[in-house]
Amino acid sequence: MEFEPVIGLEVHAQLKTDSKIFCSCSTRFGSEPNSQTCPVCTGMPGVLPVLNTRVVEFAIKLAITTGSKIAKKSIFARKNYFYPDLPKAYQISQYEEPFCSGGHIEIQANGGWKIINLTRIHLEEDAGKLLHPEDNDTHGKTKIDFNRCGVPLIEIVTEPVITSPNEAYLYLTKLKQLLVYLEICDGNMEEGSLRCDANISIMEKGSEKLGVKTEIKNLNSFRGVEKALEYEFERQKGLILNGEKIIQETLLWDANKNIAIPMRSKEEAHDYRYFPDPDLVPLWIDEKWIDKIKSQIPELPKDKKLRFIKQYGLSDYNAEILTTTKELANYFEETVKYCKDFIKASNWIITEVLKILNEKKIEINDFNVSSKNLGTMLKMIEDGIISGKIAKEVFEYMTLTGKSAEEITKEKGLIQITDLEQISKTIDVVLKQNHNEVLAYIDGKEKLFGFFVGQVMKATKGKANPKIVNEELRKKLNSLK
Ligand code: ADP
Ligand code: MG
Ligand code: ZN
């Protein structure tokens, strides 16, 4: 029997608004615990929540770009449960009449595009945060930070159509890219702005019947999601092959031990006693509002990528990488304003620039070589002022000092030697010093040509223009034959 996984993901994304979803408390991350709370978000009796319009606008943006059907009317519901991080003992969410349904996100897998269908996108509020400090003064007690209560979230739920852990990874990457492009979520997983619960079942290859699923929580990186799903796929397969049954349950991923630990048997919707929140009116969204927001949507990653391929002649691969973020794409477009060879510029950014960003763990906006400085340096290669090899050296100084290529080449005397006379003289010296090799060359050992080029370059500390060196050298050696 051959099995394949069936995966559905539920992602909670924190919307990047300044204030919370139903009150005016700040959403800023990292503030003093419980400094950003009020009677509304802590659920005091008699308060009235008021919906933040920005939250809805952000959600509409995502709905438009994923092609989800926005409901004219949606309802906020109370999802009741008791937990210390939830002072109201209910979370305001959406249940039967969500914000929107359907839609899709495209991923690039196995050399083609695959459509991941969405079930729904809905709005809800976040709960607080429990801290379990290990210091002495708390004596094993738990602390609660309510700053997060009422922070706006959208939940994006996929259909069970993802068919491998890697596809789940690719989907999450694309979703995050979209959210960040739209500037509606900062995508920061460490700060909890993006969280994912992964549902997985297995079935025999080719079957249509869904198996019993488990849900994995506590996933704090996209690679972690992939790993956890691989683990759970193997575990379920083992159970089935052993003749055992899968029980529907929630598991907690332990990223240190790479195992999933059972947390609780799965709760059902009726356990939450959902009912419409009597304090909130239905949310009505008209076409005019949608159209207005449509006009504010920026160029999306896929369109940008296709444009880069067409406009700059980039490969699919280069265009994909350069459009990973809007900032990187802008950097490329700014760079090529100063030089002509778009492909070379794209390669430079992908190999040299990204290498440094990875090493330093910084973003392109924090990189101290400006697009103008990079573009101007590339232009100097194009104009034969510096060689490609010298350029690497120049670039290294640029990254260290933030200075321009012109300044550095002047300071370090790195300008390429294009002076014919100077090169010619150097060649003469090299040929004289390597008399035996010259004789061997004349005798037919043509391979030595490269050796001579190398010697000339060495004598000029790599600064001679290679093209001129080649031409001159050939002329001189031919005349000796
Ligand atoms: P629940 O009520 O348990 O939260 P939902 O029907 O809301 O379940 O689905 C939650 C997520 O689980 C969705 O992403 C959905 O695609 C996925 N899912 C549902 N059934 C299965 C299944 N049999 N196997 C894998 N994933 C599933
Ligand atoms: Mg669910
Ligand atoms: Zn508040």
Q: What total number of domains does the chain contain? A: 3
**433 and 286 in a common domain:** no
Residue 140 is which amino acid? G
Domain boundary among 412, 446, 470: 412
CB 63 within 8 Å of CB 184:
no
Residues linked to residue 116 through DSSP beta bridges, in sequence order? 105
pLDDT tens string, the chain, 481 residues long: the values are 799 999 999 999 999 999 999 999 999 999 999 999 999 999 999 999 999 999 999 999 999 999 999 999 999 999 999 999 999 999 999 999 999 999 999 998 888 889 999 999 999 999 999 988 877 677 778 999 999 999 999 999 999 999 999 999 999 999 999 999 999 999 998 888 999 999 999 999 989 899 999 999 989 899 999 999 999 999 999 999 999 999 999 999 999 999 999 987 767 767 899 999 999 999 999 999 999 999 999 999 999 999 999 999 999 999 999 999 999 999 999 999 999 999 999 999 999 999 999 999 999 999 999 999 999 999 999 987 888 888 998 999 999 999 999 999 888 877 777 788 888 999 999 999 999 999 999 888 989 999 999 999 899 888 888 888 999 999 998 888 7
Residue 70, Cβ neighbours under 10 Å: how many? 20
In this structure, what CATH number is given to the domain that contains residue 465? 1.10.10.410
Centroid of ligand 1 to alpha carbon of 160 (angstroms):
6
**324 and 285 in a common domain:** no
Site to substitute for ligand 1 among 159, 213, 247, most atoms within 8 A of C-beta = 213
The range of the structural domain enclosing residue 65 comes to 3-292
Residues linked to residue 143 through DSSP beta bridges, in sequence order? 131
Using a 6 Å cutoff on CB, does residue 199 contact ligand 1?
A: yes
| Whole-number pLDDT of residue 266 | 67
Domain boundary among 259, 292, 325: 292
**325 and 238 in a common domain:** no
Distance, CA of 319 to CA of 327 (rounded, Å)? 14
Centroid of ligand 1 to alpha carbon of 7 (angstroms):
8
Centroid of ligand 2 to alpha carbon of 94 (angstroms):
12
H or E, element range at 158? strand 152-158
CB 339 within 8 Å of CB 374:
no
**253 and 192 in a common domain:** yes
What is the atom index within ligand 1 of the atom nearest the CA of 160? 16
Residue 219 is which amino acid? L
**Atom 22, ligand 1: residue with shortest CA distance:** 213
**352 and 210 in a common domain:** no
| Ligand approaching nearest to the C-alpha of 266 | 1
**460 and 331 in a common domain:** no
Residue 88, Cβ neighbours under 10 Å: how many? 19
Residue 82, Cβ neighbours under 10 Å: how many? 7
- 289: phi > 0 → left, psi -120 to 50 → alpha, else beta; which? alpha
Using a 6 Å cutoff on CB, does residue 201 contact ligand 1?
A: yes
**170 and 75 in a common domain:** yes
Q: Is 27 exposed, middle or buried (0-12, 13-18, 19+ CB in 10 A)?
A: buried
What is the atom index within ligand 1 of the atom nearest the CA of 9? 14
DSSP string, 352-405: IIHHHHHHHT--GGG-SS-HHHHHHHHHHHHTTSS-HHHHHHHHHHHHHH---H
